[in-house]
Amino acid sequence: MLKFYFNNKEIKELENYSKNKIYGLNRLLSKNILISSGDKEKEIFAVSDEVLSIFKKMKCLPYSIGNLIAEKKGKKYNFSLWAIEKLSKFNPYIIVDEKGEQTFLYGYNLISKMVIKTSKKFKNNEYLFVKNRLGDTLGIGLWVGGLNKEGIVVKNLKNISKYLNDKC
């Protein structure tokens, strides 16, 4: 059974989950937040005042409402494509070449020669967004090594093609 509700505890949990990892989440959570609860997972939506006022007048429950921020399965949150794109504007990033873009979208980790530019000097285990040369956000990664190092420098955590492949 699907139901929608407000829950400040779960919103705080999501904030803590991403604290010191991903910046700007508070901007997404500053809107009205509704949580839908299914049998095995929860979905967290950002909802405008206008949509919320319509929702409160409805006699039946919609399948979805507003912009999906994340899905929660167990204790893990999976950010939506919409949230990844919005959050990428507030966070450090790297830009990769065409080979890096293809590699990342296939779900593989990145090596140093694929990185064209970084927005800052990264520390180990720092979260970042991966973008292509056009500025399109490809996903979220974890910095695991220096640019002068051979081997993997960015671990692929979530990319847009993985999201699409999981849903198909």
Cα–Cα dist 20/88, whole Å? 15
Cα–Cα dist 77/102, whole Å? 25
- Picking from 72, 87, 102, the residue at the C-terminal end of a domain is 87
Residues 82 and 112 in one domain: no
Cα–Cα dist 103/99, whole Å? 6
For 13-42, what is each residue's pLDDT tens digit? 777 766 666 777 777 776 677 777 666 778
- Picking from 64, 87, 110, the residue at the C-terminal end of a domain is 87
Residues 124 and 59 in one domain: no
Residues 106 and 161 in one domain: yes
CATH number of the domain within which 97 lies: 2.30.130.10
- Picking from 22, 57, 87, the residue at the C-terminal end of a domain is 87
Residues 158 and 98 in one domain: yes
Residues 44 and 58 in one domain: yes
For 89-124, what is each residue's pLDDT tens digit? 889 999 999 999 999 999 999 999 999 999 999 988
CB 132 within 8 A of CB 114: no
What range defines the domain where residue 128 resides? 93-167
Q: Quick check: 130 pLDDT over 90? A: yes
C-beta atoms surrounding 35 within 10 Å? 19
Please report the DSSP string for 10-62 in residue order.
HHHHHHHHHTTTSSSHHHHTTSEEEEEE-SS-EEEEEE-HHHHHHHHH-SS--
Residues 18 and 64 in one domain: yes
Residues 46 and 122 in one domain: no
Rounded to a whole number of angstroms, the CA Rg of the chain reads 18
Model confidence band, residue 2 (pLDDT cutoffs 50, 70, 90)? very low
* Number of folded domains that form the chain: 2
Cα–Cα dist 149/95, whole Å? 17
- Look up residue 77 and give its two tokens: 């949150």
- Look up residue 64 and give its two tokens: 């979805």
Phi, psi of 75 (to 5 degrees): -105, 5
Residues 73 and 108 in one domain: no
Residues 68 and 144 in one domain: no
The pTM of the full predicted model, rounded to 2 decimals, is 0.74
CATH number of the domain within which 41 lies: 3.10.450
Q: Quick check: 1 pLDDT over 80? A: no
Residues 153 and 110 in one domain: yes
